[in-house]
Structure 1
Amino acid sequence: MNGYPTKAEVYEELCRRHTREIQERLGKAKVAVVGLGGLGSTIAIALARVWVGRLHIIDFDCVDLSNLNRQQYRMMDIGRYKTEALREQILSINPYLDVLIDTIKVNERNVEKLFFDDDIICEAFDNPEAKAMLVNSFLEHYPNKKIVAASGMAGYGSSNTIHTRKVAKNFYLCGDEKTGMEQANGLMAPRVGICAAHEANMIVRLILGEVEV
């Protein structure tokens, strides 16, 4: 493929990095990332770099100038659907990944259909009401699947206040759980990225059979 390493070469390198057993488990996972803003776009790229077997990325919005201070998009992506722009970036990192997109607004009526074939769902919305809707709907329809969500990552407060917590069976929450945009004058790439890394790492741990206590 235009001088790129082959699929087998990429996979073998990751096996050397992660061990074959771990890479095989990552490669069988199916993860949905819902909301492709500062959290979701960063989470999706992190999961792509470890070669999670299938990434299902979901958002209805287009890239605009206000997104570029914290989201994984480029000036050239302005006006494009986030799903399409992010898929292009992911495949530029690893063209052998399986990336499924749904350019749609998630609501109570389509949650059950959207996620039936995903193992783990990652909530990455900016809007608190949308976060609550997704978590509550997901727990209702899929009590045996795992969901990782976020709350509190605005501003430039201490990195050390962001944590990962097990809220209930199969439900994990990342962030400081208190700092919203109204308290911290908006969202900035570094702290949003720390929270995104917590979510991505928790997803990897769940794939590999680890849990928070």
Structure 2
Amino acid sequence: MNIYVNENIYSFEHEVTAFEVRDAIKKDADIIIFNGFIIKEDIALKDNDKIVLIKRGEIPTKQELEYLLVSRHSPEVHEKIKNAKVAIAGLGGLGSNVAVLLARMGIGKLVLVDYDVVEPSNLNRQQYFLKHIGMRKTDALAQIIADINPFVTVQTKNVFVERDNIKFIFSDVDVIVEAFDNPKSKATLVNEVLIQMSSKKIVASSGVGGYFSSNLIKTKRVTENFYLVGDGFSQARPGLGLMAPRVSIAASHQANMVIRILLSQDEA
């Protein structure tokens, strides 16, 4: 029988179990993923089953990490994700969280766009750490992504997004994530993308402030290429701040919509 182990084919003359395969190939592995699911108890294998063997604390190679992602996402899904290019405009609470989520998914390329630096006030909801204070957000986030998945290609653009440079910045991506705090910047980016770059899909946000019900945050398809995430009313203002839980929920909505677009599941 043939068994795929870390995507290599091994032939066995008789029926084997998952633990027997581990003992024969990587005895020190303490995590076994069987057809995409971690198993704790031994299981009999069938021809062409897939096993991934992992040793805790061991940094995987690029090939091994890809095997892990394939085992979790399925080959068809992973292939589309790893070849995708996504731009994130604004690397605050929404954008930094979206970037991390997509990096964990194994996205092929991330274009990180922001002109700001990390400040102490950012730490209540953004993906940065104390050591990043004073760094450009693009550089800090690129560093974080490298620690999560060093095989994601990251391009940083330290620019202020305005009408005249939008086409240049975002021309070579599949999906754009709008994640600005500034309402004027939001409107400028969305309007110009829909006018200048009508084939591009954009996932924007509106209303993620405070601590209202999580269930009020929705994803809706506004036009064929424009998706909007939020509750539509809780814009940040004095007395209504941006807090990690709802910001993270909205960022997850945006990241999930990006994945759905890449997988041709375009409806919100």
Counterpart among 82, 94, 99 of residue 149 in structure 2: 94
1:39 aligned residue:
94
Q: How does 1:2-151 map to 2 (within 5 A)?
A: 4-151=59-206
2: CA distance, partners of 1:183 / 1:197: 25
2: CA distance, partners of 1:184 / 1:12: 47
Q: CA deviation at 1:182?
A: 2.1
Cα deviation code 1:52-82 (max 9, x no counterpart) = 1100010000000110111100011000000
Question: 5+ residue gaps in structure 1?
Answer: none
Q: Do 1:163 and 1:198's aligned partners in 2 also have CA atoms closer than 8 Å? A: yes
Q: Do 1:154 and 1:184's aligned partners in 2 also have CA atoms closer than 8 Å? A: no
SS at match of 1:144: coil
> Normalized against structure 1, the TM-score is what?
0.97
Corresponding residue pairs, total: 212
Indicate the larger mover: 174-183 or 147-156: 174-183
Cα deviation code 1:26-47 (max 9, x no counterpart) = 0111000000000000000000
SS at match of 1:68: helix
Consecutive aligned runs of 4 or more in structure 1 exceeding 4 Å deviation? none
Cα deviation code 1:101-139 (max 9, x no counterpart) = 101111001001111111100000001111000000111
Identical-pair percentage: 49
Does residue 153 in structure 1 map to residue 208 in structure 2? yes
SS at match of 2:155: strand
2: CA distance, partners of 1:105 / 1:209: 31
Larger RCO: Structure 1 or Structure 2 (Cα < 8 Å, ≥ 6 residues apart)? 1
RMSD: 1.3
2:9 aligned residue:
none
2: CA distance, partners of 1:166 / 1:153: 17
Q: Decide which structure has greater helix share.
A: 1
2:30 aligned residue:
none
Counterpart among 203, 213, 222 of residue 167 in structure 1: 222
> Normalized against structure 2, the TM-score is what?
0.77
1: CA distance, partners of 2:229 / 2:266: 13
Q: CA deviation at 1:183?
A: 7.0
Question: 5+ residue gaps in structure 2?
Answer: 1-57
Q: Do 1:54 and 1:98's aligned partners in 2 also have CA atoms closer than 8 Å? A: yes
1:211 aligned residue:
266
